[in-house]
């Protein structure tokens, strides 16, 4: 049953819609100003209203509860003695002790404790229960950290006109100082305002150099004497060699005479291992390698002209850019890297000048900016030139045994790591530093770091292998620290590196032998063909013929290409 209530209401009683109508404005109230009221007020002029548009901040103070600490000590005094016994008196204490010892309980206790104790003592004496049993099996945790390098300090050239930092040398003891040679290697790029100074920096203080060296002309290279850490020798842009003693001040102690020096900038100067510790030799692009004794700088002690024809002809000579000594084995053999891309191996003690040049290694397209023997494997050396870095073996003269790919930027310097035989560093003209570990990866650098925006010109690793400094075009020397993974000798590294070098050397030897065979065959074949038909006189084309032939070929190719393009254009037009 539904309960329904019907509710009715007339439609016109619901609620009428609102009908709006316009009405003119009506004034309801009008209050006129009353000037008499103004006397109740005083005018305020000026009105200061501060406005602030800042972040709202609040200040809170917190202080920890003071912790009071105190120092206490304990003094052990004999105690526990019963009241009737005076601990100071020997007789009384002895008497007490004797009394205790007579106790029955004491007897049984001691017997029992004694046997326990003896068991443990014997146990101790039998074996060392706490010895390390599994010491050998402790696997050295190879930290899987990414190789990295971070910049520690940056030393900028304090002069306004920036010069390139062309050479860096670490202080021999402790390596807390870095000597940087500044010069400008661009052709005729030296402005009269350019300062000639080079600096010695303390690596902790990048704000101000520790010492200034004032040469007569810009220094291109600078080396600390490994035997005497106060002496530095520098080669300058005008070809002179000078040496400084840091105890004696900024001026060079002695300079070589202009007539007997080099005629081109001295690119590299190295100290020799001699008894007196005063011998150096220098190399320059004028084609000479000169030996000097710094005590007598008026004349070089010896001279070698790098003439590939071994005639001592200075006009033919190759310009030398880098030098390397064979420290460990033979102190008389050294190598020179030249502008022309050849590495020349020389022997100082050869009897005739012709024999001084032993052999050459070719393979680079440009000047060899760095040349260094591997500190662990002196038979292998690294050269850095043009767009590649190459590793050579002394025995293989035709080509390098390992090389990097051709980079986009020119490589300007490189060196081996003094602690790891398979790691070397290179710097490029685009400001990047590459760390190569050829046991880990051969195609690419293990670590590539952009040090600065301008080109990097020089690089030097410290003897502990941890720090390295690189110098840039604007005179900024950056000090970097390498991650420990890259500067600790890994297990088996020496063995693996030896194996790799041997393998590559063998490969190159085989290739060399093959090439020689092929060449012999060619020669014998061309000789045969010469005998057979003497009509064809041109066994070898002359240079001009070769040139015209290549020119003709070139134009042919260009024309063919143009024709092809024209055809394609036609096709396109036809399609549309």
Residues 6+ apart with CB under 8 A from 417: 423, 424, 425, 461, 465, 486, 487
Cβ neighbours of residue 299 under 8 Å, at least 6 residues apart? 257, 260
Beta bridge partners of 411: 428
> Is 124 an interacting residue with respect to another protein (CB under 8 A)?
yes
Interatomic CA distance for residues 232 and 229, integer angstroms: 8
Smallest Cα–Cα separation from 211: which of 198, 228, 192? 198
73 binds another protein (CB under 8 A): no
Sole binder of another protein in the list 102, 247, 572, 575 (CB under 8 A): 102
Separation between Cα atoms, residue 371 and residue 415, nearest integer Å: 8
Please select the residue that binds another protein; options are 79, 192, 537, 539, rule is CB under 8 A.
Answer: 79
Reading across the β-sheet that carries 388-393, which strands appear in turn?
368-373, 380-385, 388-393, 402-403
29 CB contacts (<8 Å, ≥6 apart)? none
Q: Of the candidates 127, 139, 408, 495, which one interacts with another protein according to CB under 8 A? A: 127
Nearest distance in Å: CB 125, another protein: 5
User: Of 128, 146, 207, 352, which one interacts with another protein (CB under 8 A)?
Assistant: 128
CB of residue 89 to another protein, shortest distance in Å? 14
Give 113 or 354: the residue with its C-beta nearer to another protein. Answer: 113
Nearer to another protein, 107 or 554 (CB): 107
CA-CA distance, 255 to 270, in Å (whole number)? 16
**Please, which residue, 112 or 569, has the CB nearer to another protein?**
112
Per CB under 8 A, the segment of 61-69, 107-115, 235-243, 381-389 that binds another protein is: 107-115
SS3 165: strand
Shortest Å distance, C-beta 69 to another protein: 23
Tell whether residue 94 is a contact of another protein (CB under 8 A). Answer: no
Nearer to another protein, 106 or 406 (CB): 106
Q: Is 200 buried (19+), middle (13-18) or exposed (0-12) by CB count in 10 A?
A: buried
Token pair listed for 185:
């290697």
515: helix, strand or coil? helix
Give whichever of 41 and 130 is closer to another protein, judged by the CB atom. 130
Contact between 105 and another protein per CB under 8 A = yes
Find all residues with CB under 8 Å of 221, minimum gap 6, and list them: 166, 167, 181, 234, 235, 266, 267, 268, 269
Residue 537 to residue 559: CA distance in whole angstroms? 32
Identified binder of another protein from the candidate list 89, 95, 106, 249, rule CB under 8 A: 106
Residue 538, CB-side half-sphere exposure with 13 Å CA sphere: 6
- In angstroms, rounded to a whole number, what is the distance separating the alpha carbons of residues 81 and 385? 90
71 CB neighbour count, 10 Å cutoff: 4
Give the footprint of another protein on residues 236-265 (CB under 8 A): none
Cβ closer to another protein: 101 or 553? 101
Residue 131 vs 534, nearer CB to another protein: 131
Using the rule CB under 8 A, which residue among 28, 122, 275, 351 binds another protein? 122
Residue 174 lies near another protein (rule: CB under 8 A): no
Report the alpha-carbon distance of residue 416 to residue 424 in Å, rounded: 4
Q: Please report how close the Cβ of residue 117 comes to another protein at its closest, in angstroms.
A: 5
86, 89, 121, 330: which one binds another protein (CB under 8 A): 121
CB of 76 to another protein, least distance (A): 5
Tokens 């209401």 label which residue? 9
Rounded to a whole number of angstroms, the CA Rg of the chain reads 44
Q: Can you tell me the distance from the alpha carbon of 470 to that of 182, in angstroms, rounded to the nearest whole number?
A: 13
What's the CA gap between 483 and 523, in Å, rounded? 55
Which residue number, 103 or 568, has a Cβ lying nearer to another protein? Answer: 103
Residues 381-410 that bind another protein (CB under 8 A): none
In angstroms, give the least distance from the CB of 106 to another protein: 7
Closer to another protein at the Cβ: 99 or 450?
Answer: 99
Out of 118, 173, 302, 444, the only residue in the binding site for another protein (CB under 8 A) is 118
Interacting stretch for another protein, rule CB under 8 A, among 19-27, 71-79, 284-292, 460-468?
71-79
x-or-dash string of contact with another protein, 130-159, rule CB under 8 A? x-----------------------------
Instruction: Please tell me whether residue 88 binds another protein under the rule CB under 8 A.
Output: no
Q: Which of residues 445-474 bind another protein (CB under 8 A)?
A: none
Total of residues contacting another protein (CB under 8 A): 33
Residue 100 in contact with another protein, rule: CB under 8 A: yes
The Cα 234–Cα 255 span in angstroms is 10
Distance, in Å, from the CA atom of 413 to the CA atom of 419, rounded to the nearest integer, reads 19
CA angle 253, 255, 260 (to 5 degrees): 160
Chain center to CA of 567: 55
Q: Does 120 bind another protein (CB under 8 A)?
A: yes
Residue 80 as a binder of another protein (CB under 8 A): the answer is yes
| Paired strand residues for 302 | 291
Binding status of residue 101 toward another protein by CB under 8 A:
yes
Question: Nearer to another protein by C-beta: 111 or 543?
Answer: 111
Say whether residue 83 binds another protein (CB under 8 A). no
Q: Which of 49, 111, 139, 140 binds another protein (CB under 8 A)?
A: 111
Q: Which is nearer to another protein, 118 or 302 (CB)?
A: 118
Q: Which is nearer to another protein, 96 or 410 (CB)?
A: 96
Nearest Cα residue to 487 out of 105, 67, 143, 9: 143
Q: Which residues bind another protein (CB under 8 A)?
A: 76-82, 96-97, 100-102, 105-107, 109-114, 116-118, 120-122, 124-128, 130
């Amino acid at each position: 049953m539904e309960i329904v209530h019907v509710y009715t209401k007339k439609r016109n009683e619901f609620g009428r819609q609102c009908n709006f109508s316009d009405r003119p404005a009506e004034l309801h109230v009008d209050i006129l100003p009353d000037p008499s009221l103004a006397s109740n007020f005083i005018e305020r002029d000026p009105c200061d209203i501060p406005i602030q548009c800042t972040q709202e901040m609040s200040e809170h103070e917190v202080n920890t509860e003071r912790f009071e600490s105190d120092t206490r000590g304990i003094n052990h005094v004999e105690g526990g003695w019963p009241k009737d016994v005076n601990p100071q008196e020997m007789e009384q204490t002895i008497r007490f002790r004797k009394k205790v010892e007579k106790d029955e309980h004491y007897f049984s206790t001691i017997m029992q404790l004694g046997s326990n104790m003896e068991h443990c003592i014997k146990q101790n004496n039998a074996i060392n229960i706490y010895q390390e049993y599994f010491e050998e099996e402790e696997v050295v945790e190879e930290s899987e950290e990414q190789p990295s390098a971070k910049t520690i300090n940056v030393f900028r050239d304090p002069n306004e006109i920036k010069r390139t930092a062309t050479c860096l040398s670490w202080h021999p003891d402790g390596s807390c100082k870095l000597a940087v040679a500044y010069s400008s290697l661009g052709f005729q790029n030296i402005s009269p305002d350019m300062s000639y100074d080079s600096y010695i920096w303390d690596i902790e203080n990048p704000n101000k150099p520790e010492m200034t060296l004032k040469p007569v002309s810009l220094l291109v290279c600078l080396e600390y004497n490994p035997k005497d850490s106060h002496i530095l020798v520098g080669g300058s842009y005008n070809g002179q060699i000078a040496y400084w003693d840091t105890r004696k001040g900024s001026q060079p102690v002695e300079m070589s005479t202009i007539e007997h020096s080099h005629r081109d900038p001295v690119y590299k100067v190295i100290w020799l291992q001699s008894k007196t510790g005063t011998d150096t030799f220098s190399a320059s692009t004028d084609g000479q390698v000169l030996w000097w004794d710094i005590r007598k700088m008026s004349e070089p002690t010896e001279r070698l002209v790098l003439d590939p024809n071994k005639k001592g002809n200075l006009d033919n000579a190759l310009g030398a850019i880098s030098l390397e000594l064979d420290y460990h084995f033979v102190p008389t053999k050294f190598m020179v890297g030249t502008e022309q891309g050849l590495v020349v191996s020389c022997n100082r003690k050869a009897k005739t000048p012709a024999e001084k040049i032993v052999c050459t290694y070719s393979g680079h397209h440009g000047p060899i900016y760095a040349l260094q023997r591997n500190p662990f494997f002196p038979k292998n050396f690294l050269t850095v030139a043009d767009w590649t870095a190459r590793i050579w073996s002394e025995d293989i003269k035709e080509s390098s045994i390992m090389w990097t790919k051709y980079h986009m930027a020119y490589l300007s310097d490189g060196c081996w790591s003094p602690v790891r035989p398979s790691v070397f560093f290179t710097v490029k003209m685009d400001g990047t530093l590459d760390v190569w570990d050829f046991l880990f990866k051969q195609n690419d650098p293990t670590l590539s770091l952009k040090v600065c925006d301008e080109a990097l010109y020089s690089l030097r690793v410290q003897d502990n292998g941890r720090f390295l400094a690189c110098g840039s075009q604007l005179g900024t020397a950056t000090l970097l620290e390498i991650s420990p993974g890259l500067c600790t000798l890994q297990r088996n590294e020496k063995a693996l590196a030896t194996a790799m070098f041997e393998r590559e050397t063998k490969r190159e030897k085989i290739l060399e032998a093959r090439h020689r065979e092929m060449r012999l065959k060619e020669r014998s074949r061309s000789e045969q063909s010469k005998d057979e038909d003497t009509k064809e006189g041109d066994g070898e084309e002359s240079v001009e013929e070769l040139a015209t032939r290549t020119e003709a070929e070139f134009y042919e190719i260009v024309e063919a290409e143009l024709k092809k393009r024209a055809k394609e254009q036609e096709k396109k037009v036809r399609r549309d």
